Amino acid sequence: MPNGANVVKLGIVGCGRVSVNHHLPALKKLPGVEVIALADTDKGCLNWAGDRFHINKRYTDYRFLLDSPSLDAVAVCVPPKSHVEIALGALAAGKHLFIEKPLALNLEECDRLIERARNAKTKAMVGFNLRHHRLVRQARQIIQQGTLGDIESIHTSLTSALRLRLKVPEWRNQRSSGGGALFEVAVHHFDLWRYLSGCEAEEVFAMSRADNWDDETVTLTARMTNGVPIASNFSERTSESNELEIYGRKGRLRLSLYDFYGFEFYPATITPGGIRPRIVKAYKMLKDFPEAFSVMLNGGDFLMTYHSEWQYFIDSIQNDTKIECTLEEGRRALQIALAAIESSSLGKPVRVDHSSP
């Protein structure tokens, strides 16, 4: 497809919460793409999403959507157990592929998909939207520039009150169908571990709480291949947090991804809470307020990650540029999740499988 020549026609398989609350609102504001078809086995969800976003082509069988010759690309936004089946169908139909995380439930399924994608002439991308967060991009740039120095340790937290507010689908209660905090939540940060550190996870040790469903709350420690230790906490039954702290020999980075002003860098020579950092922070808040207000009007930084990741995907299709967040990247994050699940079951550290597809 020549540069900017055509609008990408997109079909979405799966009309659940993420599609309706995040993907479709972002796509609606994006030039260069038009969502023309939806598919979902739940006719009520399908019609609700179609009516809300004025999409007329609706299918209860995704195969009819894939058969549409007018579609250029397909987004797979269904429960993980069906990811690979639908993604393989999309590739066989010659469609560009966007697939939500986690890529699959096991490495064998990942390998089937990766092998098929290697022989395809279309693009394939995993939806790790946090890679496209404004603050994550800033942090990665600082790390790569050496401003932080050698990384000493990383701490992350991704929690929510989702289950306290909403009834979730039954599949999200069980590991076997892709539910629980390790599959559904933690995989985002497993990807960020790698994305920000530039290294692979070598070993993980996970402790999981499971009173009413699998992996309600998880505390996890890991060691990266460069020796950097990581500690993370994941839960869906407490207050909202999406935070990372990266400790380097020259300073410390703190990211709060739900807060426009959630980027803090403390050089090793500065003590947080002193008069100088307070003045600098106050000045920055005032200077950046117009941008902050604009971001808030567009749904906030978190919603804008979906806009940014879709813009990136559409640009790659229109300009034939290389995809950064490949299926192989999705597989590597899944390798960490599977090791964490095994560790939680065995009650001991587990080495991460670094085999290649």
- Residue whose structure tokens are 């404004």: 134
275 and 149, same structural domain? yes
Tens of pLDDT, residues 82-139: 999 999 999 999 999 999 999 999 999 999 999 999 999 999 999 999 999 999 999 9
What the block records as the tokens of 273 is: 């809470």
Please compute the mean of the pLDDT values over residues 189-213 and round it to a whole number.
Answer: 95
Q: How confident is the model at residue 283 (pLDDT cuts 50, 70, 90)?
A: low
Between helices 83-92 and 107-118, what is the axis angle to 10°?
10
pLDDT of the residue at 12: 98
- Domain annotation covers residue 320: no
119: domain CATH number?
3.40.50.720
Residue-averaged pLDDT of the chain: 92
**SS3 of residue 292 by DSSP:** helix
pLDDT of the residue at 354: 85
158 and 172, same structural domain? yes
Reading phi first (left if > 0) and then psi (alpha if -120 to 50, else beta), residue 200 is in: beta
Q: Considering the entire predicted model, what is its pTM?
A: 0.92
What the block records as the tokens of 39 is: 């598919």
Q: How confident is the model at residue 326 (pLDDT cuts 50, 70, 90)?
A: very high
- Domain annotation covers residue 323: no
Above 80 in pLDDT, residue 3?
A: no
209 and 66, same structural domain? no
Q: Which residue has the higher pLDDT, 10 or 280?
A: 10
HSE-up (13 A, CA, CB side) for residue 196: 35
| Domain around 69 | 8-130
Tens of pLDDT, residues 205-264: 999 998 888 999 999 999 999 999 999 999 988 999 999 999 999 999 999 999 888 899
Measured between its terminal Cα atoms, the distance across the chain in Å is: 29
Above 60 in pLDDT, residue 4?
A: no
Amino acid (1-letter code) at residue 3: N
179 and 223, same structural domain? yes
Instruction: Give the separation between CA 159 and CA 215, rounded to whole angstroms.
Output: 12
126 and 140, same structural domain? no
Q: Are strands 96-99 and 73-76 parallel, antiparallel or unpaired?
A: parallel
